[in-house]
Amino acid sequence: MTAICLVGIGKIAVDQHVPAIGGSADWELAATVSRAGSVDGVQSFTDFDQMLSERPDIPVISLCLPPVPRYDYAAKAIAAGRHVMLEKPPGATLAEVYALADMAHAAGVSLYTTWHSRMAKGVAPAKAWLADKTVTGVHICWKEDVRRWHPGQDWVFAPGGMGVFDPGSNALSIITEILPMPIHLRSAELFFPENRDTPIAAHMQWTQNVTGDFDWRQEGPQSWDITVETTTGTLSLHDGGARLLIDGNEVAAGADREYPALYDRMAELVKTNASEVDLSPMLHVADALTLGKRNVVAAFHF
């Protein structure tokens, strides 16, 4: 088993990363770094530099921090000769992730920009089914309750936090994976609470008749759906990609293995010092923030 250090012990780390590592035959959670969180039975640090110095035996770092501070941690880890795994979105900007990729290549270590929704059970068969199809239209409906999934986490509304595009990048990671043709953004409407710096909702229009509605104010049932119309039938993904239907017939459904699958892939990359850096979902976010018409809506408070 390979020793790994988990940095940032917040909700996503506790809910997803810790169980995924614990259930893997490839990994041993050897240390954590966090200002407040820890994992029972695992050595904990509050200082990343101290961990790098005292635990040279840990070759892999998984960063679960918010996007803004992630670059500095990743750069230090790479400089120390460690392989690095980045929670999505992989950074606060495109340029900094490209810089990390160059650093990792020069250092001969692996860098993995993870997109967990691509590992959902319905995504790979959806991609295969669409490969030879002519797509006539796509609609994304990605609406959830920020209070449920990011309770009290003000960083998501701070510059670099990406707002609704934090969960929205999950949908963008799926469409950039499954669509058989390229798309680019033509227009966007962004909705900013009057007291926040990032959008709480967005409507987007791409080429190829692709549209998307994203909203962080959805109460009750949550919506993580993508519908793809083709000349030969309709494909739909639900529950964030876990369920696949073709012409209304269930094709794929199953238990969530998104994060275990990410760690399976990281193990493969580390064995060969290979990297996997895909920023295509972030390109659409950057384009939305460039092209988007800003609308101010009511203040938001947790």
Give me the helices (H) in 132-257, please.
146-149, 165-178
Burial class (CB in 10 A: 0-12, 13-18, 19+), 40: exposed
Question: Which two structure tokens, joined as six digits, stand for 89?
Answer: 């979105």
Radius of gyration of the chain (CA): 19
Give strand ranges (E) for 58-168. 60-63, 83-86, 111-113, 135-143
Q: Provide the total of helices (H) and of strands (E) in the chain, helices listed first.
A: 10, 15
* Residue pair 277/111 in contact by the 8 Å Cβ criterion: yes
* Residue pair 185/212 in contact by the 8 Å Cβ criterion: no
Choose, from 88, 121, 127, 133, the residue flagged as catalytic.
88
Task: Give the type of residue at 245.
Answer: L
| Catalytic residue check, 88 | yes
- CA separation for the pair 85, 242 (Å, rounded): 23
Q: In what order do the strands lie in the sheet with 210-215?
A: 249-252, 243-246, 233-238, 223-230, 135-143, 210-215, 201-206, 185-193, 293-297
Question: Quick one: which of 205, 202, 91, 207 has its CA closest to 142?
Answer: 202
- CA separation for the pair 150, 158 (Å, rounded): 13
Active site residues: 88
